[in-house]
Chain A
Amino acid sequence: MSGALPTRALYALIAALLMALLPHLLMLPPWLALLIVAVPIWRATLAYRGRALPSRWLLYALMIILLALVFWQFRTLIGRTGGLAMLASLIAVKLLETRSRRDARVLTLLGYFSAGAMFLVSQSFWMLAWALATAIALTTQLTAWQRQRERLDGEEAWRALRMLAEAAPIVLLLFLLFPRLSGPLWSMPSERPDARSGLSDVMSPGSFTDLTLDDSIAFRVRFDGIAPPPSALYWRGPVFERFDGKNWLQGQPDTAAPPPLETFGPQLRYSMTLEPHERPWLLALDLPTQWPERSRLSSRLQLVADAPLTQRRRIDVVSSPGWRARESADVLARNLALPPAGNSKARALAASWQSLPPQARSDAALHWLRQGGFHYSLSPPLLPGSDPVDDLLFTTREGFCEHYAGAFVFLMRAAGVPARVVGGYLGGERNPSGDYWLIRQADAHAWAEVWLAGKGWQRVDPTAAIAPNRISEGLAQSVADGSRLPASLRSEAPWLKAFRLNWDATVYQWNRWVIGYDAQRQLQLLNRLGIDALASPAFIGWFAAAILALLAAYGVVHRWSNRPHRRDPAARSWQRFVAKLGRASIVPHTGEGPAHFARRAALALPAHGDDIAAIAAAYLAVRYGEDADKLGELREQVKRLRIRRHHSPRSHT
């Protein structure tokens, strides 16, 4: 099976490889993607024109150039981005030196691998459909290489499709029962943290406004029982304790244990499906009392995972809305710290509240914000000066949640009340189709926490003082310039909204059952079958039974597809004729042909001699003379033949 490459099979190979590479190419900068695609197209053109392939040195040069460009773009040749770009370049250049069927096989394997790696780009339903189409294309073109006359037609595609259908039971069985590990095999090199959008670990003016234009899903939540109202859904993210005069930062590494806590009141149970955001925080409601494995509650009372979330993750959490913490003096001192200078007007304003009790200082600040003619705006003026808090509070008076939360905490610290900024999300959209909540990046929010002796940390949302609608109604109702908002957040036609929510419900179920099928979910499924653990006798029993059932099903299908072919009508008539003679004890000998048998039968039954001869002649004419017209005659004659037993030759003599 070697020799020159069949051209049409080569075209099919190139097409299938382009299908396998498409999702990866779309992740590359367009100029690089076009450069990589140009190589297979060049190869196809060479084949079409019957030209010779470029020299080896040109190939090496091209490979080095492509790899250099990939490295220049991504600063790496491994991992998700660099590695896949390198794979694409490798496939393209390998195609340029493909001369034999062996090369085609190597490329096909690379194609399958590349198709499998598509899910690093996305795990959406559409990506699965595309991967399946790619697998069919790769399998179809393989059949062309098995032929010598480069045939490739619809029949081959059907065959590949049929193979896919045949593979389905095994795929399903393995998917459900193959043991899932709960952690990675080895730790990945760290990926670029800005690969995906989401909350940042620095809160600078404008950092949340950017997110409001992003309507992608941050996470979805399903509550066990009744959900709190949206205005109570403060999803707690990064906590900013340090102010450097301009930005709010997380402060020192948060490795300490949480302070002693006391919770009271009803508990909220819910499960969250978090989209990957490349950060460790898990965005639970205040205050988590039970959290999943591989995560912990930090000293800032924030739920963080042991590693950044690089994949979609489903977690079950229990939170207690009523809680009280006992913080140490260290922590409180940290939450009073301000830069030594700057924002003197704000400091002076805060100093005027110093005589009030802490609770009253907070109320005074809120009152001042409410009365100060402040505006809630998605496009506030920039605050480039060295005193951004002063500029906001006394000059521009226009801002977004991060501006007001930051300014409020500044005022509180200046007034001697420990306070900190909490980032996260507020509210969400309830999807009635799936009975769950959708929280988008656009729901990102920032608020404040102040420490009141005797009461502990208290949540204060300064944005509520300025734009109460933002808290109760959501973003769309609280900004005047709604046209800047993404489509899904604008007020829209009810049918469109219903369609969008239904679609998201489908996606949610897909994520829950297919993409989120992990070790935990597998165990849940197995528990329903009465299996406690993998590798238990019960599991092995079920597994063996499933395999046996599968084999039996294959056997039945196989039996059915190989059922005896209907004999042709002439042979059936002949068989009937032989059976009739059999009743007169005349049976064909092994290896005896029809003519000979008929002659012998005619001799044994002289009374039917003519009929038998005629039947034999008709049968031979139909069967071997291809004389289909005689078929009716043959059938008729066999039907008419009545062997009279008492007329056997013996009784005559």
Chain B
Amino acid sequence: MKAWFTRHWQRALARRHPQSAVITLRHNRIYVLPTWFGIAYAATALLVLIGAINYQLSLAYLFAFLMLGLGNSALLQAYRNLLKLQLRALAAEPVFAGEVAHFPIAVANPGKPPRNALGLKFNRHDVGWIERIGRDDEAIARLPLLSHERGWLTLPPLRLETRYPTGWCKAWSYAQLSSRCLIYPHPEENPPPYLDHGGDHGQRRVRGSDGFAGLRAYQPGDAPKQIAWKQFARLDVLLVRENDSVQGAAQLFDWHALDELGTEARLCRLTAWVLAADLAGDRYGVILPGQTLPLGAGPAHRHACLQALALFGRDET
């Protein structure tokens, strides 16, 4: 029964709050209910009213009605605190499976009085808080969501809630923003060195990465690991050790060469290798069934490879 109700409720909500990239909170999307504190406040007002009736105090009547009026006004204020807000999902940075993905949500206040104390929730769990959005201003909340598996992680339905200003009423709205975050496969921990594995696709055998080839001047972006600290201590000049492998190692990581592992394990290992090769500055490529990413380097290539691994076997694009 409860499941049936939940299903229908979810469906009704989805109909009422269609998915979209930008959502403006109009009046038909905002719900307001009193909180327990609000109910206790109304009871207090009633108590004052009973006292007024009993002691026949005209001004106490007035005060009891004032309390009720203030409650009504708080309801309107809470509602207005959400009205006309614009929600927009910004691009989420990819993360590895098991890590926390952050969905940046921009909440814009188009030329209205400042908004205060907005809470963002996934499934009744607090995930974000916006203290204040000024007039014609925008605030960005980064909503954390734990990723479990590779592929696309879609932004769950979002609940934007406020109890401002008094806490007597709770106004909220649902937002189904279309946004997703790419989750790379979880990289295998302590993978075997990639140079000896991955088939015979190496363009050129190179010496081990610890082969010392010489020193060159430091350039911004060089890994601290590569800095020759001993020489720095002696000469007071930042120098970088150059390894053979840095210069020309190139490796194609082949899915097919890892027969002994299952699909996910293979993807984990390939991911680890892509990361290792990227870190070492090698050129690398990935061969997957039905898809080959040729040799390359740099952040874009790394992303392309990791995306291919993340989406392998998933029919989503």
- Residues of chain A having any CB pair with chain B under 8 Å: 1, 105, 109, 112-113, 115-120, 123, 127-128, 131-132, 135, 139, 142-143, 145-149, 151, 155-156, 159-160, 162-164, 166-171, 174-175, 178, 180-181, 184-186, 188, 310-311, 514-518, 554, 558, 562, 565-566
24 A-B pairs (CB sep. < 8 Å)? A109-B40, A112-B48, A113-B48, A116-B48, A116-B52, A123-B58, A123-B59, A135-B70, A142-B165, A143-B166, A147-B117, A147-B164, A148-B129, A151-B131, A159-B77, A162-B73, A163-B73, A164-B73, A167-B66, A167-B69, A167-B72, A169-B69, A184-B55, A565-B112
Q: Which residues of A contact B69 (CB under 8 A)?
A: 166-171, 174
* Proximity bits, B121-137, A CB within 8 Å = 1, else 0: 00000000101100000
Give the A-B pair count, Cβ closer than 8 A: 157
In the complex, the chain A residue whose C-beta lies closest to that of B43 is: A109
Q: Are B131's CB and A147's CB within 8 A?
A: yes
Contact A175 B57 (CB under 8 A): no
Check B55–A120 contact: CB distance below 8 A. Answer: yes
**What residues of A have a CB within 8 angstroms of the CB of B60 in the complex?**
116-117, 119-120
- Determine whether B50 belongs to the interface, using a CB cutoff of 8 Å to chain A: yes
B70 touching A113, Cβ below 8 Å: no
Are A184 and B53 in touch, CB under 8 angstroms? yes
> How far is A591 from B281 in the complex, measured between Cα atoms in Å?
41
Asked if B111 CB lies within 8 Å of chain A CBs, one says yes
Q: Shortest CB–CB separation between residue B271 and chain A, in angstroms?
A: 35
A517 touches B83 (CB 8 A): no
From residue 19 to 48 of chain B, which have CB atoms closer than 8 A to chain A? 37, 40-41, 44-45, 47-48
Write the nearest CB–CB distance from A506 to chain B, whole angstroms: 16
Distance in angstroms from B164 CB to nearest chain A CB is 5
Q: Which partner residue on chain B sits nearest A117 by CB separation?
A: B51
B54, A517: Cβ atoms closer than 8 Å: no
Partner of A146, one of B68, B73, B112, B116: B116
Shortest CB-to-CB span from B108 to chain A, Å, is: 12
One of B62, B66, B83, B116 near A147 (C-beta < 8 A): B116
* Chain B residues near A109 (CB-CB < 8 A): 40-41, 44
Report the separation of the CA atoms of residues A128 and B117 in the bound assembly, to the nearest whole angstrom.
Answer: 32
User: B104 at interface (Cβ–Cβ under 8 A)?
Assistant: no
Nearest residue, chain B, Cβ from A123: B59
User: Chain A's nearest CB lies how many Å from the CB of B170?
Assistant: 11
Interface secondary structure of A, over-half rule: helix
Interface of B is mostly: helix
Report the nearest B residue to A566, measured CB to CB.
Answer: B111
Cα of A178 to Cα of B111 in the assembled complex, Å:
40
Nearest CB of B to A507, in Å:
14
Contact A167–B47 (Cβ < 8 Å): no
Q: Is the CB of A515 within 8 A of B167?
A: no
Given contacts A142-B167, A146-B116, A159-B165, contact A175 B61 (CB under 8 A): yes
User: B164 touching A119 by the CB < 8 A rule?
Assistant: no
**In this complex, what residue of A is CB-closest to B129?**
A148
Smallest beta-carbon distance A307→chain B, Å: 11
Asked whether, in the complex, the Cβ of B73 is within 8 Å of the Cβ of A166, the reply is yes
Q: Determine the chain A residues whose CB is within 8 A of the CB of B165 once the complex forms.
A: 139, 142-143, 146, 156, 159-160, 163
Q: In angstroms, how far is the closest chain A Cβ from the Cβ of B78?
A: 10
- Min Cβ gap A434→B in Å is 19
Q: Is the CB of B68 within 8 A of A311?
A: no
Which listed residue (A146, A175, A311) contacts B62, Cβ 8 A? Answer: A175
Q: Tell which of B65, B114, B164 touches A175, judged by Cβ atoms closer than 8 Å.
A: B65
B117: min CB distance to chain A, Å = 5
Q: Are A565 and B164 in contact, with the CB atoms below 8 A?
A: no
For chain B, the bracket of interface size reads 35 or more
Is B67's beta carbon under 8 Å from chain A? yes
Residues of B within 8 A of A515 (CB): 58-59
Q: Which chain B residue has the least Cβ–Cβ distance from A147? A: B117
Evaluate contact between B58 and A514: CB separation under 8 angstroms.
yes
Which A residues touch B61, using CB under 8 A? 175, 178, 180
B65 adjacent to A174 (CB under 8 Å) = yes
Kindly list chain B residues whose C-beta atoms are within 8 Å of the C-beta of A162. 73
In the complex, the answer to whether B72 meets A518 with C-beta atoms within 8 Å is no
CA distance A451 to B166 in the complex (A): 70
Q: How far is the CB of B94 from chain A (nearest CB, A)?
A: 25
Residues of A within 8 A of B40 (CB): 105, 109
What are the residues of chain A within 8 A of B180 when measuring CB–CB? Answer: none
B41 touches A171 (CB 8 A): no
Distance to closest chain B CB from A286 (angstroms): 29
Q: Which residues on the B side are within 8 Å of A123 (C-beta)?
A: 57-59
CB-based closest 10 A-B pairs: A167-B69, A116-B48, A565-B111, A163-B73, A174-B65, A170-B69, A166-B73, A143-B165, A119-B60, A119-B59
Whether, in the assembled complex, B202 has its beta carbon less than 8 Å from a beta carbon of chain A, the answer is no
A558 to B112, CA, bound (A): 12
Please state if B66 and A145 are interface contacts (CB–CB under 8 Å): no
Is B131 within 8 A of A562, CB to CB? no
Give the most central of A119, A149, A162, A170: most B CB within 10 Å. A119
* A290 → chain B closest CB, angstroms: 23
- The one of B48, B58, B67, B117 in contact with A517, judged by C-beta atoms closer than 8 angstroms, is B58
- A167→B76 CA distance, assembly (Å): 10
User: What would 8 more interface pairs be, CB under 8 Å, given A139-B166, A147-B116, A562-B84?
Assistant: A113-B47, A123-B57, A143-B164, A147-B131, A155-B114, A167-B73, A170-B65, A562-B83
Q: Contact: A116 with B67, CB < 8 Å?
A: yes
The smallest C-beta distance from B68 to any residue of chain A, in angstroms, reads 7
Q: Does B63 contact A (CB under 8 A)?
A: yes
A54 to B: closest C-beta gap in Å: 27
Chain A residues whose C-beta falls within 8 Å of the C-beta of B66 in the assembled complex? 132, 135, 164, 167, 171
Which residue of the partner chain B has the closest CB to A156?
A: B165
Say yes or no: B57 contacts A184, CB within 8 Å. Answer: no
From known contacts A186-B54, A311-B55, infer whether A565 and B110 are also in contact, taking CB-CB under 8 Å: yes
Interface string of B78-111 (1 = CB under 8 A from A): 0000011000000000000000000000000011
Distance in angstroms between the alpha carbons of A160 and B69 in the assembled complex: 12
Q: Is A146's CB under 8 angstroms from B166's CB?
A: yes
Question: B269 interface residue, CB < 8 Å from A?
Answer: no
Establish whether residues A514 and B54, one from each chain, have CB atoms under 8 Å apart when the complex forms.
no
A516-B167 CB under 8 A given contacts A146-B116, A168-B69: no
**Pair A149/B65 contact, Cβ less than 8 Å:** no
Closest A residue by C-beta to B111: A565
- Whole-angstrom distance between the alpha carbons of A612 and B56 in the complex? 76
Query: Does B195 interact with chain A (Cβ within 8 Å)?
Result: no
Residue of A nearest to B66 (CB): A171
CB distance from B50 to the nearest CB of A (A): 7
CA distance A135 to B40 in the complex (A): 16
Judge if B74 is at the interface, Cβ distance under 8 Å.
yes
B64: Cβ under 8 A from any A Cβ: yes
Picked from B62, B67, B110, the residue with its CB within 8 Å of the CB of A128 is B62
A185–B53 touching, CB < 8 Å: yes
**Given A139-B70, A174-B68, A175-B62, does the pair A146, B44 have CB atoms closer than 8 Å?**
no
Determine whether the beta carbon of A171 is less than 8 Å from that of B53. Answer: no
Bound together, the chains give a CA A590 to CA B76 distance in angstroms of: 35
Enumerate B147-189 residues with CB–CB distance to A below 8 Å: 163-167
Say whether B65 contacts A171, CB under 8 Å: yes
Task: List, in ascending order, chain B residues with CB within 8 A of A185's CB.
Answer: 50, 53-54
Q: A1-B163, A113-B44 are in contact. Are A171 and B62 (CB under 8 A)?
A: yes
Q: Which residue of B57, B67, B114, B117 is within 8 Å of A311 (Cβ)?
A: B57
- What residues on A are CB-neighbors of B47 within 8 Å? 113, 116
Return the chain B residue nearest A165 by Cβ.
Answer: B73
Minimum C-beta distance from A144 to chain B (A)? 10
Most chain A CB within 10 A, of B51, B66, B132, B163, is at B66
Determine whether the beta carbon of B65 is less than 8 Å from that of A311.
no
Q: How far is the CA of A554 from the CA of B62 in the complex (A)?
A: 21
Q: Which residues of A contact B48 (CB under 8 A)?
A: 112-113, 116-117
Contacts of A170 in B (CB 8 A): 65, 68-69, 72
Report the minimum CB–CB distance from A533 to chain B (whole Å).
19
A148 to B63, CA, bound (A): 30
Taking CB atoms, residues of chain B closer than 8 Å to A135 are: 63, 66-67, 70
